[in-house]
């Protein structure tokens, strides 16, 4: 056994060392290399300065190196500050080393588009977050790992549903109707943002435990290399891989958690409701009151248990580093019946061949996600359901209490009434299974005759297959009339990628310069297929015949180039250009250039020897990026005069036959890219060996030719609202990041990170013809009434500005129907509405800290948002006595009625637009590491985490932080609080085992 | 050796990649999988009828997926975007015939008559009309003689294509007539204008639009199928004559010139074409109304094949509420929206329906007075449209959502009353006796006997307005009729909640036209707003 291990070491050394044989070796040095917390640092290199002699630290942190006499030993590890130590060796020396994390290590290598760069050489605004800085706790989706961690990046989960997706905005987004989601690149494969049916989050197929790092590219000089998809920033996700020379390392982690609801939408209790109906209701309504006391919102939620288990094995078999992992996640939602089960597997192989000239990286990951979706309409139903009625009753609707239609003698539910929320949940079986796999193989070849030249080929795929089915029995109240429901759906996605680039990097010592040139080609193709299914009832009768199946394709072909030029190690220039061709436009091609300069001021002679200042870099950049992603509701062929076939449910009778219709679609033959120009100026700084470090960035983004859906002149096109290039948006902002280690002793360290973002966004033009009287485009559909919208895109205002009446107050109470006559025409008409605030936050805050005391570790992270407003739809839709004035049923009333006393809902009052600024503690985690177990072979870490510990806010509703309001992938509104799946508070216990 | 091999491989790889690159750029010319394009769709004659079906369906349903999904119009709830529902609402809600209980956006402004140019329902009406015009323009543009011959359409197909094209021109004229009647001076585009994202149709004045519709309807006469000879659901010559008659009857409103003689001419053409009154009034509004000999031009609906949340679904569901039995209407539940005012109820001497069977009121639990428009019980309900056949059989949709009943857009009774009115208003070419006979034919059917018949002396213009309301209530006629009689605006006739007061009050005359939606004036700089807005 011992022999075998030795052999392995020898092999390792042979593999990486050039020569060890020329030295006479009589002594040696051995020891352990660990980080500040005592964790071994496998993969670190130990070498003797001025020689080629070196060793790679093994998985248990140990190394052994032949040495003799007076030497200088250097220990290096990416992400850590190197140590140089002068030693005298006589015979055998045993010495341990501890490396301190270089959180802002300037030698850190950062993954940028199509390559890597040293952090010190960056000219753009890029934030790198590696696994040690990830948020802790029961995190099931990748983006939650970095919530609140990065200045300028807003990540808000779309509620508390299992595996829920998030709204991710980098610098506030730059588009109106086109997507504001950033481009996400996983191991070099850019994902498309199209909806994956049956999955509430397109990223949920990636097991967060497999992620090594996030690199967030924010300004155009960093993102422009991704051209037409880069306007909203780029998030590069790199997964964990095995390392050369690493011994087999096993990591097992397990998290058990309990989720509990944290609050409810404020409505009247049964007693209060009874009193209100008796005071304000008619006799018919009083007669409908029941004798039960039901808290419907308590009834639909539950305490849910979840588990997350992961096993990862990594190492290197001779020349073949590998990592294999499997994950099992079983997450139950607090809304009854909602759950997600994910099985994921990840294999990565990273062979290094031909003396390291050929690097191959193969990644294959797959996940099977099984979800059961709860009917979120039940959330609204529970808010509105009469609390004086019981949950269950003896009847023909599954024994769930339902409001009945008296004209049928109670044989059928009353169709206009609120349905029993428990019935909506428990009788609806809505399941979806998604199988998704993403993989790539990347060849990186360093030419033998010209080692400065590298060729890189990346072949990737992203495929998924979804199958889902919704079953509701015939007796369920909400589908009683149609005899239940049996509806299936499926989807396949098939995306392919080919990237090829050449890179030439050379130091031109004679002129104190270094150049690094990249030129490449990329081809990516996306196909989505969705067959059509009939809509059946529980018996199998066809309610609606199957429609037309859906299939769509789009292709991107690109050429790109980048030049990095460094002069005297302190003047840096980056120029990139990308030429993108998209099948979505008739004029396929667009060109997206960028340039950036950086000046490493601290490398100037007058600062170079400063003991205080360790880093000071000024960056300025400019670039043009594009946008061609206009979401799933719109077509991939917007420039073609298409005729689409109608479904058999939309046929028309001519004679005795029903004809399927052929509809000419509206189109803009000249539609083209949306373009964003970004200006960025930034300053990176570091003091005291970067113990304090940070950066400040100021940016301006100007988007023109917005891909907007705007009203088109009546009679000029084959639709009333057309996707075309109209309008401009301007975003400005300031980002500030500060990371520090205020305390660092042998026993105790405190690391803290703080980030702050100020962002404003304004529409500066939205019409083809200048029209100062133009009101704008209404958006933001609310619950209550049909088709009521509460928001508007208007010139001079932020997108999604609330468009409301100015409420008149008397004695501090809103006067029903009393609005200010803002246009002074003597009457209150819809023209008196004004634009009041918007859901866009003005300031974003993030704060996190890690305290380590010996084996103890305490950490928390907090994020906040200031200046964001929310339309409290739960309150407006339920905040009137009219709620129980309908025939044959009663509906509960929001507690805001106590203040308003409204008889009829005043949907458009600014009373319901509330300041929803908040500060949320995302997690608080306490851990203890048992080190040196089983003869130092095993490390065990136990931790407890509370997620979503508290929210500080003045908002009167359930939760001030809302996610996306989407239909498909198209935003239909923002900041409208309506049937929001509450974020639970989660208590979890985790075990992490390393050996 | 190995190095060389690798280098060769890399060079070969680069060369093949270069080749690949040039071929891959061709992949940028992607074509849709299921959709056709205007370049290909007209090559196959079987597609023509499907496109024609869409032009008809534009009046019936809201998109390419029933009852909702793949909408024609966006920016408004799909159910509300339906043609018949919007047109009906614009014609009925601001009158004495209808009130609606819903608090949807600016919907209550219709009956209050306080609408502004930002009203989303008026915009949806307008958008729907111009959508219909645009899709008709597209078909008419692609079916010129030259185009037909370039697509090798010949023989019977060519004959058929010419009928199709004439029908498309009829459907466009119908939509333009609605635009003329509701909005007056509107943007104008024809088949001569290409589809564009940056074309701003010029504004046409009301008189020129009148002439255009008139000339179109006359021009297509030869190519339309003879009256009563076309397939069910398709327009024939009589449909165009009826529309011409309506245009002429209202000419004094539209162009300040009487055209009653022309109105009589075209009414007479229709009445001579062999239509007959349904034997029972109620049968005109039931699922088997497709068999009625009276209906000249219907918009068809079907519970399985033609589903929408507008159209007849709206007209059958929305009036049902209170203690009304949904099952009696062949549906699963009412929407508790539409009722009527006491001004309309008073038009019938006996609201019970025992005398004049057209008094189809539902009064049980309903108050005659409207104290609160939002309360369904305030105002008598009306039980006119149903999803049951004359034999009492429920419609085909087992869920009880979508009716089979067709919408009677034009029917003989309307032509009778137009004839009588044109004669009374001094048009030449008709006879007072025939006019009286027509009116009494309707009254005999309504009463079941001649007890309700009137004398020549009783046949006054005021009587005609009243009789049109009794006969044609809730059929999308009322606003136009009231305007023609000078009673829509002003104070000469008040009804509950006219002008947003319970007793009714005078309303400014400019409200006889709806405003051009503000959004279209933003989109199209050529448009001037109607006076008063």
Order of all β-strands in the sheet with A801-804: A777-781, A789-793, A801-804, A834-836
* Chain A residues in contact with B54 (beta carbon < 8 A): 646, 652, 661-664
SS3 A240: coil
Mutate: best of A720, A763, A766, A887, partner B, most B CBs <10 A: A720
* Chain A residues in contact with B511 (beta carbon < 8 A): none
Q: What is the mean pLDDT of chain B?
A: 94
Whether A354 sits inside 8 A of B34 (CB atoms) is no
Place of tokens 């304090």: A692
User: In this structure, what token pair is assigned to residue B410?
Assistant: 């034009």
Distance CA A899, CA A259 (A): 33
Whether A408 sits inside 8 A of B325 (CB atoms) is yes
Distance CA B328, CA A568 (A): 90
pLDDT, tens digit, 9 for 90 and up, residues B149-164: 999 999 999 999 999 9
User: In this structure, what token pair is assigned to residue B479?
Assistant: 């606003």
Distance of CA B446 to the CA centre of its chain: 25
Report DSSP letters for B413-463, one per residue.
HHHHHHHHHHHHTT-SS--HHHHHHHHHHHHHHHHSSGGG---GGG--HHH
Residues in Cβ contact with A753 at an 8 Å cutoff, skipping those fewer than 6 apart: A133, A149, A737, A738, A739, A740, A846, A847, A848, A849
Distance from CA of A717 to the nearest CA of B (A): 5
| Structure letter (DSSP) for residue A899 | H
Point out the residue among B64, B333, B521 whose CB comes nearest to the CB of A646: B64
- Give the count of beta carbons closer than 10 Å to the beta carbon of residue A930: 12
Distance CA A926, CA A855 (A): 11
Minimal CA–CA distance to A630: which of A707, A527, A556, A529? A707
Distance CA B258, CA B268 (A): 18
Distance CA B342, CA B497 (A): 11
pLDDT, tens digit, 9 for 90 and up, residues B306-332: 999 999 999 999 999 999 999 999 999
Report DSSP letters for A848-891, one per residue.
EEEEEETTEEEEEEEEEEES-EEE-HHHHHH-SGGGG-STT--B
Point out the residue among A554, A720, A882 whose CB comes nearest to the CB of B127: A720
Whether A716 sits inside 8 A of B336 (CB atoms) is no
pLDDT at B8: 65
Distance CA B35, CA B58 (A): 19
Point out the residue among B34, B102, B233 whose CB comes nearest to the CB of A785: B102
Cβ–Cβ under 8 Å, residues A695 and A754: no
Whether A662 sits inside 8 A of B80 (CB atoms) is no
User: In this structure, what token pair is assigned to residue B272?
Assistant: 């001579």
pLDDT at B376: 94
What are the residue ranges in chain A where pLDDT is below 50?
1-25, 103-104
Whether A661 sits inside 8 A of B50 (CB atoms) is yes
Alpha-carbon distance values, B400 to B317, B387, B394 (Å): 10, 8, 8
pLDDT at A24: 43
Distance of CA B134 to the CA centre of its chain: 16
User: In this structure, what token pair is assigned to residue B399?
Assistant: 């869920």
Point out the residue among B30, B307, B377 whose CB comes nearest to the CB of A650: B307
∠ CA B197-B201-B207, rounded to 5° = 160
pLDDT at B11: 64
Distance CA B202, CA A715 (A): 10
pLDDT at A14: 35
Whether A405 sits inside 8 A of B374 (CB atoms) is no
Cβ–Cβ under 8 Å, residues A694 and A739: yes
Phi-psi region of B323 (alpha: psi -120 to 50; beta: other; left: phi over 0): alpha
pLDDT at A66: 83
Distance from CA of B149 to the nearest CA of A (A): 21
pLDDT, tens digit, 9 for 90 and up, residues B27-37: 888 889 988 99
Point out the residue among A445, A650, A670 whose CB comes nearest to the CB of B66: A650
Question: Is the predicted pLDDT of residue B46 greater than 90, yes or no?
Answer: yes
Distance CA A499, CA A525 (A): 12
Whether A644 sits inside 8 A of B130 (CB atoms) is no
Cβ–Cβ under 8 Å, residues A152 and A218: yes
Place of tokens 């994902």: A191
> How would you classify the pairing of strands A183-186 and A234-239?
parallel
Alpha-carbon distance values, B64 to A644, B51, B251, B306 (Å): 8, 12, 36, 10
Question: Is the predicted pLDDT of residue B492 greater than 60, yes or no?
Answer: yes
pLDDT at B23: 63
pLDDT at A79: 65
Query: Which H helix or E strand runs over A448?
Result: none
pTM for this one? 0.88
SS3 B156: helix
Maximum alpha-carbon separation in chain B: 117
Which stretches of A240-305 are DSSP H helices? Answer: 270-280, 283-288, 296-300
Q: Show contacts of B91-94: CB within 8 Å, 24+ apart.
A: B91/B476, B91/B477, B91/B478, B91/B479, B91/B480, B92/B474, B92/B476, B92/B478, B92/B479, B94/B479, B94/B488, B94/B511
* Chain A residues in contact with B2 (beta carbon < 8 A): 354
Distance from CA of B62 to the nearest CA of A (A): 9
Question: Is the predicted pLDDT of residue B467 greater than 70, yes or no?
Answer: yes
Whether A778 sits inside 8 A of B326 (CB atoms) is no
* Chain A residues in contact with B400 (beta carbon < 8 A): 481
Residues in Cβ contact with A544 at an 8 Å cutoff, skipping those fewer than 6 apart: A534, A535, A647, A648, A649, B66, B307
pLDDT, tens digit, 9 for 90 and up, residues A782-815: 888 777 889 999 999 999 999 999 999 999 999 9
Distance of CA A637 to the CA centre of its chain: 28
pLDDT, tens digit, 9 for 90 and up, residues B382-439: 999 999 999 999 999 999 999 999 999 999 999 999 999 999 999 999 999 999 999 9
Cβ–Cβ under 8 Å, residues A34 and A61: yes
Q: How far apart are the first and last CA of chain A?
A: 17
Between B138 and A974, where is the model more confident?
B138
SS3 B202: coil
- Give the count of beta carbons closer than 10 Å to the beta carbon of residue A173: 27
Cβ–Cβ under 8 Å, residues A700 and A732: yes
Distance from CA of B424 to the nearest CA of A (A): 38
pLDDT at A930: 86
Distance CA A722, CA A709 (A): 5
| Structure letter (DSSP) for residue A800 | T
Place of tokens 């690949």: B20
- Is ipTM strictly over 0.85? yes
Annotate A687-702 with b (16+ C-beta within 10 A) or e (fewer): bebbbbbbbbbbbebb
Question: Is the predicted pLDDT of residue B39 greater than 90, yes or no?
Answer: no
SS3 A836: strand
Cβ–Cβ under 8 Å, residues A725 and A707: yes
User: In this structure, what token pair is assigned to residue A245?
Assistant: 């020379």
Whether A658 sits inside 8 A of B520 (CB atoms) is no
Question: Is the predicted pLDDT of residue B6 greater than 80, yes or no?
Answer: no
């Amino acid at each position: 056994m011992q022999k075998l291990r030795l052999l392995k070491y020898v092999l390792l050394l042979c593999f990486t060392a050039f020569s060890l044989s020329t030295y006479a070796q009589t002594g040696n040095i051995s020891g352990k290399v660990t980080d500040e917390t005592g964790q071994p640092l496998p993969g670190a290199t130990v070498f003797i300065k001025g020689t080629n002699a070196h060793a790679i630290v093994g998985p248990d942190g140990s190394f052994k190196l032949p040495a003799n006499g007076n030497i200088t030993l250097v220990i290096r590890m990416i992400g850590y500050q190197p140590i140089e130590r002068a030693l005298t060796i006589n015979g055998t020396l045993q010495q341990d080393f501890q490396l301190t994390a270089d959180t802002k290590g300037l030698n850190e290598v950062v993954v940028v588009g199509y390559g890597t760069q040293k952090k010190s050489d960056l000219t753009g605004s890029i934030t790198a977050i590696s696994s040690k800085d990830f948020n802790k706790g029961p995190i099931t989706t990748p983006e939650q790992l970095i919530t609140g961690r990065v200045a300028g990046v807003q990540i808000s989960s779309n509620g508390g549903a299992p595996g829920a997706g998030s709204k991710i905005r980098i610098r506030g987004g730059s588009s109106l109707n086109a997507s504001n989601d950033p481009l996400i690149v996983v191991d070099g494969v850019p994902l498309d943002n199209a909806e994956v049916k049956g999955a509430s989050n397109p990223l949920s197929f990636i097991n967060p435990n497999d992620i090594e790092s996030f690199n967030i590219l924010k300004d155009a000089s960093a993102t422009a290399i991704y051209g037409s998809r880069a306007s909203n920033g780029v998030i590069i996700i790199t997964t964990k891989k095995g390392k050369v020379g690493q011994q087999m390392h096993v990591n097992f982690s397990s998290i058990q958690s309990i989720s509990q609801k944290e609050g409810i939408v404020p409505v009247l209790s049964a007693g209060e409701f009874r009193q209100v109906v008796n005071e304000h209701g008619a006799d018919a309504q009083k007669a409908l009151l029941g004798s039960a006391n039901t808290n419907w919102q308590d009834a639909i939620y539950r305490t849910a248990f979840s588990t997350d288990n992961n096993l990862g094995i990594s190492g290197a078999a001779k020349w073949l580093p590998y990592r294999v992992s499997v994950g099992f996640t079983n997450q139950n939602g607090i809304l009854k019946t909602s759950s997600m089960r994910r099985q994921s597997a990840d294999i990565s192989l990273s062979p290094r061949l031909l003396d390291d000239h050929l690097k191959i990286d193969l990644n294959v990951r797959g996940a099977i996600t099984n979800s059961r979706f709860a009917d979120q309409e039940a959330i609204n139903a529970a808010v509105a359901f009469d609390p004086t009625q019981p949950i269950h009753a003896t009847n023909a609707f599954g024994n769930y209490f339902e409001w009945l239609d008296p004209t049928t003698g109670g044989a059928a539910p009353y169709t206009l009434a609120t349905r029993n929320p428990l019935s909506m949940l428990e009788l609806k079986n809505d399941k979806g299974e998604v199988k998704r796999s993403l993989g790539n193989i990347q060849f990186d070849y360093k030419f033998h005759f010209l080692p400065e030249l590298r060729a890189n080929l990346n072949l990737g795929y992203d495929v998924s297959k979804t199958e889902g089915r919704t079953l509701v029995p015939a007796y369920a109240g909400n589908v009683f009339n149609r005899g239940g429901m049996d509806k299936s759906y499926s989807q396949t996605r098939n995306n392919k990628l080919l990237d090829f680039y050449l890179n030439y990097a050379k130091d031109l010592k004679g002129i104190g310069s270094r150049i690094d040139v990249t030129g490449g080609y990329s081809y990516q193709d996306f196909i989505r297929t969705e067959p059509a299914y009939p809509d059946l009832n529980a018996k199998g009768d066809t309610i609606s015949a199957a429609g037309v199946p859906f299939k769509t394709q789009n292709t991107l072909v690109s050429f790109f180039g980048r030049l990095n030029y460094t002069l005297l190690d302190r003047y840096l220039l980056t120029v990139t250009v990308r030429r993108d061709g998209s099948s979505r436009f008739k004029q396929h091609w667009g060109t997206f250039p960028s340039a950036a300069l950086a000046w490493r001021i601290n490398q100037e002679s007058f600062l170079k020897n400063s003991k205080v200042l360790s880093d000071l870099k000024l960056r300025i950049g400019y670039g043009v990026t594009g946008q061609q992603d206009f979401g799933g509701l719109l077509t991939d062929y917007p420039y073609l005069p298409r005729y689409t076939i109608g479904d058999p449910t939309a046929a028309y009778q001519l004679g005795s036959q029903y004809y399927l219709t052929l509809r000419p679609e509206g189109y803009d033959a000249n539609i083209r890219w949306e373009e964003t120009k970004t200006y960025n100026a930034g300053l990176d700084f570091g003091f005291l060996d970067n113990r304090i470090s940070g950066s400040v960035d100021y940016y301006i983004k100007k988007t023109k030719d917005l891909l907007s859906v705007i009203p088109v002149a009546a009679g000029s096109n084959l639709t009333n609202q057309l996707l075309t290039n109209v309008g401009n948006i301007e975003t400005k902002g300031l980002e500030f990041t500060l990371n520090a280690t205020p305390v660092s002793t042998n026993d105790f360290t405190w690391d803290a990170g703080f980030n702050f973002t100020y962002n404003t966004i304004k529409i500066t033009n939205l019409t083809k013809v200048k029209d100062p009287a133009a009101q704008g485009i209404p958006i933001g559909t609310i619950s209550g009434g049909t088709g009521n919208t509460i928001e508007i895109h208007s010139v001079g205002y932020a997108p999604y500005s609330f468009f409301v009446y100015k409420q008149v107050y008397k004695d501090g109470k809103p006067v029903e129907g009393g609005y200010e006559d803002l246009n002074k025409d003597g009457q209150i008409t819809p023209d008196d509405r004004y634009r009041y605030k918007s859901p866009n936050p003005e300031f974003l805050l993030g704060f996190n800290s890690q305290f380590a005391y010996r084996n103890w570790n305490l950490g928390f992270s907090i994020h906040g948002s200031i200046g964001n407003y929310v339309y409290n739809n739960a309150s407006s839709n339920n905040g009137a006595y009219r709620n129980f004035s309908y025939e044959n049923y009663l509906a509960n009333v929001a507690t805001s009625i106590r203040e308003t006393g409204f008889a009829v809902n005043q949907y458009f009052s600014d009373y319901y637009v509330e300041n929803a600024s908040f500060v949320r503690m995302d997690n608080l985690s306490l851990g203890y590491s048992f080190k040196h177990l089983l003869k130092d072979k095993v490390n065990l870490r136990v931790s407890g985490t509370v997620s979503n510990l508290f929210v500080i806010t003045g908002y009167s509703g359930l939760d001030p932080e809302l996610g996306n309001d989407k239909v498909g992938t198209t935003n239909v509104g923002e900041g409208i609080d309506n049937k929001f799946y509450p974020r639970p508070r989660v208590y979890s216990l985790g075990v992490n085992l390393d050996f | 050796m190995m190095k060389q091999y690798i280098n060769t491989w890399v060079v070969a790889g680069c060369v093949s990649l270069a080749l690949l690159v040039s071929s891959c750029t061709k992949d940028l010319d992607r074509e849709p999988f299921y959709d056709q394009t205007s370049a290909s769709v007209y090559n196959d004659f079987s597609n023509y009828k499907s496109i024609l079906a869409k032009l008809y369906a534009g009046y019936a349903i809201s998109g390419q997926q029933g009852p909702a999904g793949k909408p024609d119009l966006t920016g408004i709830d799909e159910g509300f975007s339906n043609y018949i529902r919007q047109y009906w609402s614009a014609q009925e809600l601001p009158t004495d015939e209808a009130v609606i209980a819903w608090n949807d956006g600016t919907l209550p402004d219709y009956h209050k008559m306080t609408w502004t140019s930002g009203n989303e329902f008026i915009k949806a009406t307008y958008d729907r009309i111009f959508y219909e015009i645009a899709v008709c323009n597209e078909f008419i543009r692609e079916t010129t003689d030259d185009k037909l011959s370039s697509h090798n359409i010949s023989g019977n197909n060519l004959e058929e294509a010419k009928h199709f094209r004439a029908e498309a021109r009829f459907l466009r004229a119908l939509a333009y007539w609605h635009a003329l009647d509701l909005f007056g001076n509107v943007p104008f585009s024809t088949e001569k204008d290409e589809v564009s994202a940056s074309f701003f149709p010029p504004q046409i004045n009301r008189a020129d639009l009148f002439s255009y519709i008139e000339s179109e309807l006359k021009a297509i006469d030869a190519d339309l199928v003879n009256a009563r000879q076309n397939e069910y659901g398709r327009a024939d010559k009589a449909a165009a004559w009826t529309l011409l008659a309506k245009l002429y009857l209202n000419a004094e409103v539209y162009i300040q010139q009487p055209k009653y003689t022309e109105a009589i001419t075209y009414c007479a053409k229709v009445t001579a074409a062999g239509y007959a009154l349904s034997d029972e009034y109620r049968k005109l509004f039931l699922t088997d109304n497709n068999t009625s000999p009276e209906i000249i031009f219907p918009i068809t609906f079907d519970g399985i094949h033609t589903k929408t949340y507008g159209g007849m679904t709206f007209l059958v569901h929305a009036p049902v509420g209170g203690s009304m039995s949904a099952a009696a209407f062949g549906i699963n539940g009412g929407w508790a929206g539409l009722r009527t005012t006491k001004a309309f109820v008073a038009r019938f001497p006996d609201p019970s329906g025992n005398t004049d069977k057209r008094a189809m009121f539902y009064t049980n639990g309903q108050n005659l007075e409207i104290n609160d428009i939002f309360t369904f019980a305030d105002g008598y309900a009306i039980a006119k449209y149903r999803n049951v056949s004359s034999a009492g059989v429920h419609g085909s949709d087992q869920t009880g959502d979508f009716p089979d009943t067709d919408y009677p857009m034009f029917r003989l009774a309307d032509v009778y009353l137009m004839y009588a009115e044109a004669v009374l208003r001094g048009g030449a070419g008709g006879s007072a006796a025939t006019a009286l006979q027509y009116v009494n034919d309707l009254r005999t059917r309504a009463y079941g006997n001649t007890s309700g018949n009137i004398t020549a002396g009783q046949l006054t213009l005021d009587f005609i307005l009243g009789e049109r309301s009794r006969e044609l209530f809730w059929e999308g006629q009322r606003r136009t009729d009231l305007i023609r009689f000078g009673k829509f605006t002003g104070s000469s006739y008040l009804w509950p909640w006219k002008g947003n007061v319970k007793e009714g009050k005078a309303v400014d005359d400019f409200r006889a036209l709806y405003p051009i939606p503000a959004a279209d004036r933003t989109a199209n700089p050529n448009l001037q707003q109607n006076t008063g807005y």
